[in-house]
Amino acid sequence: MKNSTFEEIYEKIKAYPTIILHRHTSPDPDAIGSQAGLARSLRLQFPDKRILCAGENDEGDLAWINTMDEVKPEDYQGALVITTDTANTPRISNKNYNKGDFLIKIDHHPDVDPYADMSYVDPDAPAASEIVADFIMQMNMPLTKEVAAALYAGIVGDSGRFMYPETSVHTFEVAAKLANTGIDLTQIARNISDVTFAQAKLQAAVLDYMTVDPCGAAYAVLMQADLKKLGISDDQASVTVSTPGRIKDIKAWNVFVEKPDGTYRVHYRSKGPVINHLAEKHNGGGHALASGANAKDLEEVKQIFAEVVEVTKKFNEEHE
């Protein structure tokens, strides 16, 4: 699908009295930051419109960025719906997203599921929050500290603190403009990086549970019993995802987190081998080096890791 322009999206926004913003399930800072940043700016730009943030109240440790509004099914009647940071429909938080009058998608993942009536997708951007910031600034919309704080958190989170390869000169330019509003950069960084003592113990457990293939692929499985022992929810367990990547010889890895229903949330990460096409095979998707998916049981867990081993071996052969 061809991208719409910011001007076309803005004109569509102007036409609707109610706008409901969605993001993806099990959100990260970019999901909530892009949603909240856009909602806050729209409320200031259009004080007579109803601007609502919809989700499944699964913000968890990220409630410091934003919490969701109470959105009823009848609110979607004649409404404009905007999704941010959500590549495909299974990942949209709150399944009422399709009950509105018109749907706009703003995202930075590969557009494998062009589900919206209008979209702006830039896979080269490190975060959806960067795209939203560009939209706000180009349309001369309000950029207050409250708006900027949410967007900056999203950019810092999804760029890996400006470490991932999608980070560009433009990313730093946008970050500088957000910082210039007077936001507390140190506090945002601490909010993103701080973990509880229980989460720190779980990070250590990941190293104990980890299996490493000679090719440099690794995986760890966190069971509900492990989480309950430490008093951690499966959403809070996402703090462990980056842990294996700190080990020099590991090139690609999975962290599997058992959900209460016995299925598994699958985290893919990589320092080189491309893994998003693997995630797409398991009801997921994402970026070339960072993706998510789902596994129905331990057999699928084994299959997923076997696929990661295969692409890692191929990567090694191509880079010898």
Q: What is the pLDDT of residues 207-253, one digit of tens each?
A: 999 999 999 999 999 999 999 999 988 778 888 999 999 999 999 99
CA dihedral 269, 195, 68, 3 (to 10 degrees): -30
d(CA 210, CA 226): 14
Query: Model confidence over 90-118: pLDDT tens digits?
Result: 889 999 999 999 999 999 998 989 999 99
Are residues 153 and 213 part of one domain? no
Q: Tokens 């590991």 correspond to what residue?
A: 250
Are residues 143 and 55 part of one domain? yes
CATH number of the domain that 225 lies in? 3.10.310.30
- Domain range for 139 is 6-192
Q: Which residues contact 6 (CB under 8 A, 6 or more apart)?
A: 120, 134, 135, 138, 139
Are residues 232 and 84 part of one domain? no
Structural domain includes residue 167: yes
Are residues 289 and 260 part of one domain? yes
Are residues 179 and 48 part of one domain? yes
Structural domain includes residue 308: yes
Other CB atoms within 10 Å distance of the CB of residue 48:
5
Are residues 38 and 13 part of one domain? yes
Are residues 186 and 241 part of one domain? no
Q: What is the pTM of this model?
A: 0.87
Structural domain includes residue 1: no
> What's the pLDDT score for residue 1?
63
Mean pLDDT, range 269-291, rounded to an integer? 91
Are residues 171 and 106 part of one domain? yes
Q: Which residues contact 142 (CB under 8 A, 6 or more apart)?
A: 41, 44, 45, 136
Query: Model confidence over 5-64: pLDDT tens digits?
Result: 999 999 999 999 999 999 998 899 999 999 999 999 999 999 999 999 999 988 888 999
Are residues 150 and 283 part of one domain? no
Q: Tokens 């095979």 correspond to what residue?
A: 281
Structural domain includes residue 310: yes
Structural domain includes residue 185: yes
Other CB atoms within 10 Å distance of the CB of residue 248:
8
CATH number of the domain that 143 lies in? 3.90.1640.10
Strand 118-121 to 102-107 pairing: parallel
Widest CA span of the chain, in angstroms?
61
Are residues 169 and 218 part of one domain? no
Are residues 211 and 188 part of one domain? no
Q: Which residues contact 208 (CB under 8 A, 6 or more apart)?
A: none
By the 8 A CB rule, do 57 and 68 touch?
A: yes
Q: Which of 169, 192, 215 is the last residue of a domain?
A: 192
d(CA 180, CA 145): 9
DSSP category for residue 62? G
Q: Which of 192, 216, 247 is the last residue of a domain?
A: 192
Looking at the structure of the chain, the number of domains it has is 2
